[in-house]
Amino acid sequence: MLVSPSGPTKPERVARGVALLTGWGLRVRLGPHAYARAGYFAGEDAVRAADLNAALADPRVRGVICTRGGYGAQRVVDAIDMAAVRRDPKVVVGFSDITAVQLALWRGARLATLHGPGAAWIDERTPALSAESLRAALMTTEPVVVKRDPAEQTAAVSVSGTARGTLLGGNLCLLTSSVGTVDMPDLTGAILLLEEVDEPPYKVDRMLTHLRRAGALRGLAGVAIGQFTNCADDWPVTVTDVLTDRLCDLGVPVLGGLPIGHGHGQVTVPVGTPATMDVAAGVLTVEPAVS
């Protein structure tokens, strides 16, 4: 089932996503209010929560794919029926603002999810490689292997070593916004995944400094850095400078340059499953979220 827990979506993009999914042999249903709109939300809070809960509770639905991110997920996560999730766990796909849903599902049901493209598909940003990555993560039980892309802006952010731990995190803004809530995960022993879009370097600095001051980054096993897309302004400081300054002194391995996030060629990775990271090889390997 396709649902819209955050911002409003475009039907023509969802139609492209439906065509992709049905081409894999999946039977796709739209949530009743998938195309709703209320300002910058995909419908009122109660409507978005109801669609999400309906998808999570329906025994015929084996996967829930969010149409897009945007804004609004944090306003509905407290209404998620965690008892239904625990009774009938199913794979949930999304990223960006959907990080809030994924953090809530991890806290409330220890549900592993997929950090990957939404169903409002954009071929220009998510080409065939992205589609195959989503298909494999969604429909096979093979580990997901992500390799550093030297062309990614964050590829220069690096601290040598290897790490093993549960991969947790996602969008930096949503993770930071979860500090002080029940959904902020304990990252002790975890590999922290971070990605972001449209945030200037000083705001990335502010968010990472907030996480540091809150003690959230103590005890990490490692940091996996995805795409920081359009994160620039007129100051002579790059987002790579900020990431290096705020993350490379934590005393743990750091692997940048992973094509995970809002950039071109985004790949899908499970979050909430065991992972290993080898900085020298430039490889993040994550256990599947489906069985």
Residues designated catalytic: 96, 195, 262
Neighbours of 169 (CB within 10 A): 23
Contact 26, 60 (CB under 8 A): no
Distant-in-sequence, close-in-space partners of 11: CB < 8 Å, separation ≥ 6: 35
Residue 192's DSSP bridge partners are 168, 223
Phi, psi of 229 (to 5 degrees): -90, 130
Going 289 to 30 to 99 to 110, the CA torsion angle's sign is negative
Neighbours of 128 (CB within 10 A): 9
Rg of the chain over all Cα atoms, to the nearest angstrom: 18
